[in-house]
Amino acid sequence: MIAVLDFGMGNIHSCLKALSLYSKYVVYTKDPKEIRQADKIVLPGDGAFAKAMSNLEESGMVGLIQEHVAAGKPLLGICIGYQILFQDSDELRDKPGQLVKGLGLVTGQIRKFREKKNMKVPHMGWNRLRSIATKRTRILNEVGDGSFMYFIHSYRPIGFDRKEVSAFCNYYGESFPAVVEKDNIFGAQFHPEKSDKLGLKILENFVKM
């Protein structure tokens, strides 16, 4: 069973529909029993880092996610679900300098793009994956270097560990991690469910693990 966690973030329908192409056993849930029984967990959605973490903590899901990962079962984070895999974020704009703690499952901090001349933030639309680690990546199996994916985000990881990155993306001269892969933990900054056949291939790879 694949548990797509219900933690109050938006843009869920297309993710559920896409995963259901490859598995009959997809549930959208916040039920601890179902989460513990799941073979795989997906952290989906759009929204803000602080709200996502607050919702997970208040619902008790942080501990459930940690249990799942410790058991060696696959976890996939998408968009905001990707960002909260990292150590922290400074997305609280009304409190400069304050950091919000993430799940800390991969190395790095989430920070806003440093805007340059003519640069548009959020980074929104189609962009290419680059520097794919084709020899070791499982999540990007049959997804080649230069594949286009659909992005929408204003923040990206810094201070990351290159060994945990399976693909980068370039935006106005900055190369940032677009896909992470660490043991049974996987994450995509873009929306694979909105990224045509190659995006769906990523979800298929995850389902078949």
Which pairing describes strands 26-29 and 2-5: parallel, antiparallel, or unpaired?
parallel
Alpha helices, DSSP H, located in the chain: 13-19, 32-37, 49-59, 61-70, 80-83, 196-207
Tell which residue, 47, 49, 33, has the closest CA to residue 1.
Answer: 33
- The token duo for 1 is 């069973």
Known catalytic residues are 79, 191, 193
What is each CA distance from 58 to 51, 89, 102, in whole angstroms? 10, 18, 14
